A and B are shown apart, each in its own frame.
Chain A
Amino acid sequence: NAGVTQTPKFQVLKTGQSMTLQCAQDMNHEYMSWYRQDPGMGLRLIHYSVGAGITDQGEVPNGYNVSRSTTEDFPLRLLSAAPSQTSVYFCASKPGLARDEQYFGPGTRLTVT
């Protein structure tokens, strides 16, 4: 099992550019989510999904879109990057709605200039 994988590991964007952060898991987990981590603020939930075809907003969803067409993949799209989106992004998954341990990917460090 590769667990939760994320690509790319690092990315630099110019303001206004768009891109997609990729996340995949091979554990057949129902629940997947995206967090951003900023210094001194812990991790904040951006979007989450409780199964294929179902997504919902977290604490800080503005400027980000998600979709979940398969159980394995949960991409995060930045439509028009802003410097405020400079952060480290983590994808996580967990087996179901009843089990609470979440498994995190290695992260993507994004810089917007």
Chain B
Amino acid sequence: QQQVKQSPQSLIVQKGGIPIINCAYENTAFDYFPWYQQFPGKGPALLIAIRPDVSEKKEGRFTISFNKSAKQFSLHIMDSQPGDSATYFCAPSGGGTSYGKLTFGQGTILTVHP
């Protein structure tokens, strides 16, 4: 089942650019919307997350925008740096007895050129 669709699959930007990664979901019971960052050879790590009671959250250079009616949320990286080159996953969860099980998107490979 394709509950979570992430786009684009890959993204190349220059240093200082603002890459935007999108995530669309189907399950209206989701109530936790995180983005995970993964470097090669490492496990994913939580980058930033939002709850549905707010439409935007900013932490440093990373911002999540959330559109509940469209069932979409996005990750924006301001002033991107080569060190931001990684794979990014959306992984919404929540609802009932889900115990917070994550449903991962397919991933976006971000490359930031110096």
A interface list, Cβ under 8 A from B: 4, 31, 33, 35, 40-45, 48, 50, 58, 90, 92, 94, 97, 99-102, 104-107
Contact = CB atoms under 8 A, between A and B. Distances in A.
Interface residues of B, number: 24
Interface in B39-73: 41-46, 49
User: Which of A4, A35, A100 has the most CB atoms of chain B within a 10 A radius of its CB?
Assistant: A100
B100 A100 contact: yes
Contacts of A94: 100
A43 B89 contact: yes
24 contacts: A4-B43, A31-B99, A31-B100, A35-B104, A42-B89, A42-B104, A42-B107, A43-B44, A43-B89, A43-B102, A44-B104, A58-B101, A92-B43, A97-B99, A100-B32, A100-B34, A100-B49, A100-B93, A100-B94, A100-B100, A102-B100, A102-B102, A107-B41, A107-B42
A97 B89 CA distance: 21
B7 interface: no
Contacts, number: 57
A106 B100 contact: no
Given A41-B106, A107-B43, 11 more contacts: A4-B43, A40-B107, A43-B89, A43-B102, A45-B101, A94-B100, A97-B100, A100-B34, A100-B49, A104-B45, A106-B41
